Amino acid sequence: MSDAQVSLFTRIINREIPADIVYEDDQCIVINDIAPQAPVHMLVIPRKPLAMLVDAGPEDKMVMGHLLWVAGEVARMRGVDEAFRLVINNGAGAGQTVFHLHLHVLGNTQFDETNLATF
């Protein structure tokens, strides 16, 4: 894979770019979002550089489930397990800007139906 194809998040995973790391294990890393849209805004990122959710294959089912479990764990760690929201933007048309799959974990904010589109 050429340098140009290495995602920003792979560079963070490889410690080439600094980030505020909340949690990591053999399958994923969790960082605080650099431009938070809520008081708690974390990104759960698989080590495997799937560009988008739709790029996941049957062989990725285990890691996809793991990402959901980790989202709950870090929500609990940050004290927002009573109310948090998960968002995955799939594709530029849905607002995806970093093409390495990630789950947004948003908490400690007011949730209503009007902010569903933009988080």
Q: How many CA atoms lie within 13 A of 77 on its CB side?
A: 15
Binding positions for ligand AMP, 10-39, rule CB under 6 A: 19, 31, 33-35
Task: For the CB of residue 72, give the shortest distance to ligand AMP in the complex, in Å.
Answer: 19
104 counts as catalytic: no
- Sorted by sequence, the CB contacts under 8 Å of residue 78 that are 6+ apart come out as 22, 40, 42, 107, 108
Closest CB to ligand AMP among 31 and 40? Answer: 31
Catalytic residue among 41, 66, 100, 102: 102
Binding positions for ligand AMP, 57-86, rule CB under 6 A: none
Which tokens sit at 65?
């489930």
Helices (H), 1-119: 8-13, 61-77
Closest CB to ligand AMP among 31 and 58? Answer: 31
Q: How many CB atoms lie within 10 A of CB 68?
A: 12
Closest CB to ligand AMP among 18 and 58? Answer: 18
For ligand AMP, the binding residues (CB under 6 A) are 8, 19, 31, 33-35, 43, 89, 95-98
